[in-house]
Amino acid sequence: MYWLVLNPECNSVVKLTSHIIPGRAPRLGKRLILEALELLQRRLFIDIQTDILSPSKVWRDYIIERFK
């Protein structure tokens, strides 16, 4: 969640996989990220539209405020 807010250019599963889990097997890393994204989407923490990931506005604002 923090990663999506702090790195808005990493807004696809492929980019997230290469940035978050660089040393893991690609299939394992992608599977773990997909599971995490599905969980975040079910809980309404992120929006997924046409393969573009973005944190919901409320969570994005909350995380930015925490780092100030």
For 5-62, the pLDDT digits (tens) are 777 776 777 777 677 666 665 666 677 878 888 888 888 888 877 677 788 888 889 9
Q: Sketch the domain layout of the chain as residue ranges.
A: 2-66
| pTM of this prediction exceeds 0.85 | no
Distance CA 49, CA 55 (A): 11
Residue 50: name the closest of 13, 3, 6, 21 by CA: 13
Distance CA 39, CA 65 (A): 23
Residue 63 has pLDDT above 80, yes or no: yes
